[in-house]
Structures are given as structure tokens and as C-alpha cells.
Amino acid sequence: MVEEVQKKLESELNLFKQCQKEYQKTLNSRQLLSAQLNENESVQKELELMKDGGGEVYKLIGPILVKQELEEAKQNIKKRIDYISAELKRHDDTIATLDTKQDGHRENLTKLQQQFQQEQVAKMRG
Amino acid sequence: MSVSQSGGEGMQQIDLTKLAFPQLTQLKNQLDSELGVVQDSLQTLKRAQVKFQDSKESLDKITPSSQGNPIMVPLTDSMYVEGKIADADKVIVDIGTGFYVEKSIPDAQDYFKRRVAFVTLQMEKLQFIGTEKMKIREAIIEVMEMKLQALQAQKKAAASVASSSS
């Protein structure tokens, strides 16, 4: 009986650890995305401040600077912000589901641990 | 006997005295790692602030009269070629995500001023969050010590009861 509970406990622990790993991974990429969003938003603000014909806009492509129309640059930035926002939302959803999943595992673990201890006591007595 | 200590950041209020010891430890560890992140971020922001400030100050050295002045252009870290300032009115500024914008000197100075102000604002916000977290951490430690003392007193009492009854 004790062995059975122990086995269950171990498998549950593995599941929990896996869940934790995934959670951390998602959280890291979420952080990266939010940093990118911040940067893109500040670039957008900067481009909005530019007057038409008031200086050129260049885009760094590999090692060279390519001249770009202000309107085009604005559109590109907007597209990128939309994309990053969507990705961010997707990550948030994943994090929320992983959160509940983790809580479930944690609950199971405490239950199994209690059960394990009870079984051990019962075995010692018996 | 318990002082109700509420540790929360506006979103939730928890009575720390009601938490079990392992939970308190977990909470403290969490706060410790959060504080580490705050400190790291502050340092990064500080570096960015210095960078923007330096860029702004170096603009002061470019005046219309420096047009045509000879400069040494670094090709590598250890090799330079001689050049001339062709256009002392305009500079090209990196505004992030690979975008570079041509700006007049005053406009560029404005840009760096804005960036420095922005970074400073973020630093202030972060500093505030940091001190808040510090306060909560201290409260947790206080409650932990209280619990430990209570536990020890309990043990002592139990021991004295046991010794007097036997």
C-alpha cells in the first residue's frame, strides 16, 4: 500500500515539475514580448512626433541602413505592435491555464503526501 | 496577542499572522527573488540613463562651426581613418528596433532629453515598488520571528507541564 502511494506521489511530482518548467518558459517568453512591445511603442511614439519631410527615416537591415518612407515605417511598427500584442495575449492565456493546472497538482501532492504519511504510520503500527 | 499585519500591494490583503510557517517562508523567498529582479532592472535603467545622457552631451560638441573639421573615424577598435564632418547640422539617431531617424541637433537633444526623462520616471516607479516589497518582506520576517517565539514558549510550557506531572 505504501509503495503504491509512493509511486503515485512520484508520478504526480514529475507532472508538477514538468508543469512548473513549462510555466517558467512561458513566463520568460512573455517577459521578452513585453519588453519588445515597450520598445516598439516608444519607437511608434517617436515616429508620431516626426513631421512629414522633417528628416529621413532609415531601417537597419543587416549591416546597412535603408531609407524608408515615414508612412511605411509607421505602418510596419503598427503591424508589429499588433502582432506582439496578440502573442502577449496568447501567452497570458497559457499562463492562466498553467496556473490552474499547477494549483491542481499542488493540491493533489499535499493530499498524496498526507496519505503517504498515514500509510506509513499504519504500516509501523501493523 | 497578534498584531494584524497586512501585506498586500493593493490587489489583495493577507493577514500574515494567519499564514503557516512554510507559507511565510515561500512568500519571503518569492519576495527575495522579486527584489533581485527589481535591483537588476534598476541597474539596467541606470546604465541606459547614463548612455542617453552621454549621447546628449556629445551633441554639444557638434556646432555649425565644426563643419569640415577633421575627425578620426574608427574602422575597428584599433584602426582609424581620417575624415571630415560633412554635415554638422544633422545626426542620425537610433530610436530602437532597427529604426534610425535623421534629426537636427536641437531635435536630437530633445530626443535624448525625453529618453532620459522617461528612464528616470521608470526608475522612480521601480524604486517605489522596491521599497514597498522591502516593507512587506520585513513584515513577514517579523511575523516569522513572532511565530518562532510562540512555538518555543509553547514547547517550554509543555516541557514544564510534563516534568511537573511526572
Using the beta-carbon criterion (under 8 Å), do A57 and B101 form an inter-chain contact? Answer: yes
**Nearest Cα residue to A81 out of A73, A92, A70:** A73
Dig out the grid coordinates for B93 from the structure.
Answer: 539617431
Q: Cα distance from A57 to chain B (closest Cα, Å)?
A: 5
The domain total for chain A is 1
**Nearest Cα residue to B17 out of B36, B3, B29:** B3
CB B116 within 8 A of CB B106: no
Tell me how many degrees the CA angle B157-B162-B166 measures, rounded to the nearest 5: 150
Tell me which residue in B96, B98, B102 faces A55 most closely, judged by beta carbons: B102
Q: Cα distance from A59 to chain B (closest Cα, Å)?
A: 5
Q: What is the pLDDT along chain B (166 residues), one digit of tens a residue?
A: 333 333 444 456 778 888 888 899 999 999 999 999 999 999 999 999 999 999 999 999 988 888 889 999 999 999 999 999 998 899 999 999 999 999 999 999 999 999 999 999 999 999 999 999 999 999 999 999 999 999 999 999 998 888 776 5
Using the beta-carbon criterion (under 8 Å), do B97 and A61 form an inter-chain contact? Answer: no
d(CA B96, CA B116) in angstroms, rounded, equals: 15
Residues of A in contact with B97 (CB under 8 A): 36, 39-40, 43, 77, 80
Residues of A in contact with B98 (CB under 8 A): 59-61
H helix or E strand, kind and range, residue A47: helix A2-49
d(CA A102, CA B9) in angstroms, rounded, equals: 23
B81 CB within 8 Å of a chain A CB:
no
Buried b (16+ CB within 10 A) or exposed e, B121-140: ebbeebeebbeebeebbeeb
The enclosing domain of A42 has a CATH number of: 1.10.287.370
d(CA B14, CA B4) in angstroms, rounded, equals: 9
Structural domain that includes position A40: 2-125
